[in-house]
């Protein structure tokens, strides 16, 4: 059995590396650059606006239903984003690609933020009603914007398998390793505990997921960032040298660990995308749940999520590792490298702290990932039986991930993440002009000192809109974009 798994892993890794090396990295960077230019670098121009929008209240629809607020939708997507990629993924990237991988994480986050804006704005425009308020995502804008339901169904199947099953096995894998390292608990026992806790949340619906995420995400991110800032302050004189090392290693000027500039680029972009999910097509599923007055509001909120995830939390882990004196001398990787590095700074209790942190980070990711699968199953067919089978499969993969070898789950995650991102990036490239026009409409209203409001006919020729009303009679005299 073990030998068979190793053969599968080798074959999957070969296909995944070829796809990433020759296709996906170029698409990610080129389209991220294109979206940045087309939106006038929205990730920079509207940075202050993003924080202002976090306080927006949820609208109440005409049928009396109240959707999720901008902050709650932000927390669902952050719950999925902020997970093992921020602690274990960064460590894996540095171990395999050297310090330069951190630089390429920053690059993919900067350009990917524009991709995230486009995909999340489209998710809002094409969202649909459901029992909890709204839902949507790539499958929905593929069907409504491109009139290609078959491709929407294919994407829905891939994201359900990728996030609900494969990515959740990555999360439980990292939790079980961290707890085994810190407390000596058997990985199977950790898996059982995770299954029970996950079941309690996912059988409660999207609003329970939002409420749990709303509590866990801000608290865990704040504590972790404060610890990282404390470590940076203690080692402030070494920070310029670390920044120089990151940049030099990114371009092969100085090699410490890893396989050269190619490994730095590939690992930085792979682990960066796994962490921030920009352009992958996952965050739009959370963005669609928000009840806002204009789609661009949630597009900006999700753009902020990319920065929080990579520029803040991933960088925090990178500095913790790189500021530790002996990180390059160890053969550790993944979460064990992060635990080792933090122990170098604050003592042996760091192993326990990281175990608890990774539990909170990764558990919130499990429930966020689960929701992405649920909303896409409902796209394929609104069936209670299918949903129940999916929930049981999620719990089974949580157990599987807790006990299986680390490398095979990361290999599977890389392959399916790449396929998802490729499909979604091509789709949002084709539909991008709609997001650009929505941004133009938002910008004009903000310049007129208004709280922007979007209508189904704010963009001329827009079809397939379900959740946005037409302009009031007095507004219809104004020309659509």
Inside any domain, residue 478:
no
Inside any domain, residue 470:
no
Inside any domain, residue 167:
yes
Give me the phi and psi of 288, to 5 degrees please.
Answer: -65, -20
User: What SS3 state is found at 223?
Assistant: helix
pLDDT score for 27 = 87
Cα–Cα distance, 293 to 126 (Å, whole number): 14
End-to-end Cα, the chain, rounded Å:
60
What are the residues whose beta carbons fall under 8 Å from the beta carbon of 448, sequence distance 6 or more?
none
What would the DSSP string read from start to end of 292-345? -SSHHHHHHHHHHHHIIIIIIIIHHHHHHHHTSTTGGG----HHHHHHHHHHHH
pTM, rounded to two decimals: 0.83
Q: Look up residue 159 and give its two tokens.
A: 């994201």
Q: Are 354 and 335 in contact (CB under 8 A)?
A: yes
Q: Look up residue 234 and give its two tokens.
A: 């203690």
Inside any domain, residue 286:
yes
Q: Look up residue 120 and give its two tokens.
A: 């999340």
pLDDT score for 35 = 95
CATH code for position 314: 1.20.1740.10
Low-confidence ranges of the chain (pLDDT < 70): 1-9, 16, 19-22, 57-68, 75-87, 204-218, 221, 252-263, 271, 274-275, 325-335, 406, 409, 473-481
Q: Using one digit for the tens of pLDDT, what is the confidence trace for 345-378? A: 777 777 777 777 778 777 877 887 888 888 899 8
- Number of domains making up the chain: 1
Q: Are 90 and 102 in contact (CB under 8 A)?
A: yes
pLDDT score for 394 = 92
Q: Look up residue 217 and give its two tokens.
A: 């995400």
Inside any domain, residue 480:
no
**Residue listed under structure tokens 């990319």:** 306
Inside any domain, residue 437:
yes
Inside any domain, residue 66:
yes
Query: Strand 128-130 vs strand 133-135: parallel, antiparallel, or unpaired?
Result: antiparallel
CA 281 to chain centre: 9
CA angle 395, 400, 404 (to 5 degrees): 160
pLDDT score for 480 = 47
For the chain, what's the residue count? 481
Give 43's DSSP letter: H
Q: Give the domain range for residue 197.
A: 12-447
Inside any domain, residue 166:
yes
Query: Could you tell me which of 92, 20, 90 has the C-alpha nearest to residue 333?
Result: 92
Q: Are 291 and 301 in contact (CB under 8 A)?
A: no
Tell me the chain's radius of gyration from C-alpha atoms: 22
């Amino acid at each position: 059995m073990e030998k068979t798994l190793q053969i599968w892993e080798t074959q999957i890794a070969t296909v995944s590396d070829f796809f990433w090396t020759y296709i996906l990295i170029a698409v990610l960077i080129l389209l991220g650059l294109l979206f940045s230019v087309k939106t006038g670098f929205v990730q920079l121009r509207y940075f202050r606006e993003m924080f202002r929008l976090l306080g927006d209240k949820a609208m109440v629809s005409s049928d009396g239903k109240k959707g999720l607020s901008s902050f709650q939708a932000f927390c669902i997507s952050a719950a999925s984003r902020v997970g093992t990629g921020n602690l274990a993924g960064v460590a894996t990237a540095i171990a395999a690609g050297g310090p330069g991988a951190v630089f390429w994480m920053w690059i993919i986050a900067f350009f990917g933020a524009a991709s995230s804006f486009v995909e999340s704005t489209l998710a809002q425009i094409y969202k649909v009603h459901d029992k909890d308020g709204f839902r949507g995502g790539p499958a929905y804008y593929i069907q409504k914007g491109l009139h290609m339901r078959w491709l929407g169904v294919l994407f829905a199947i891939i994201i359900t398998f990728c996030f609900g099953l494969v990515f959740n096995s990555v999360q439980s894998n990292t939790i079980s390793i961290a707890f085994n390292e810190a407390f000596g608990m058997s990985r199977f026992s950790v898996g059982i505990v995770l299954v029970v806790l996950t079941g309690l949340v996912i059988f409660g619906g999207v609003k329970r997921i939002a409420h749990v995420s709303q509590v866990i995400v801000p608290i865990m991110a704040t504590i972790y960032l404060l610890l990282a800032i404390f470590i940076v302050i203690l080692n402030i004189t070494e920070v310029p040298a670390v920044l120089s090392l990151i940049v030099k290693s990114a371009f092969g000027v100085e090699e410490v660990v890893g396989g050269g500039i190619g490994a730095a680029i590939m690992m930085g972009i792979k682990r960066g995308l796994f962490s921030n999910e920009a352009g992958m097509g996952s965050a739009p599923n959370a963005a669609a749940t928000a009840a806002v007055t204009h789609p661009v509001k949630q597009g900006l909120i999700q753009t902020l999520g990319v920065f929080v995830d990579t520029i803040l939390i991933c960088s925090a882990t990178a500095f913790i590792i790189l500021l530790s004196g002996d990180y390059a001398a160890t053969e550790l990787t993944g979460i064990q490298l992060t635990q080792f590095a933090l122990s170098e700074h604050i003592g042996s209790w760091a192993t326990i702290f990281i175990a608890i942190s990774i539990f909170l980070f990764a558990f919130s990711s499990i429930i966020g990932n689960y929701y992405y699968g649920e909303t896409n199953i409902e796209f394929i067919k609104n069936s209670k039986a299918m949903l129940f089978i999916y929930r049981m499969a999620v719990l089974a993969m949580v157990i599987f991930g807790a006990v299986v070898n680390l490398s095979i789950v990361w290999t599977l995650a890389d392959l399916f993440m790449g396929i998802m991102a490729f499909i979604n990036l091509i789709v949002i490239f084709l539909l991008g002009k709609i997001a650009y026009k929505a941004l133009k409409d938002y910008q004009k209203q903000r310049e007129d000192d208004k709280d922007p409001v979007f209508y189904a006919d704010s963009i001329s020729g827009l079809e397939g809109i379900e959740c946005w009303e037409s302009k009031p009679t007095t507004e219809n005299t104004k020309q659509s974009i």
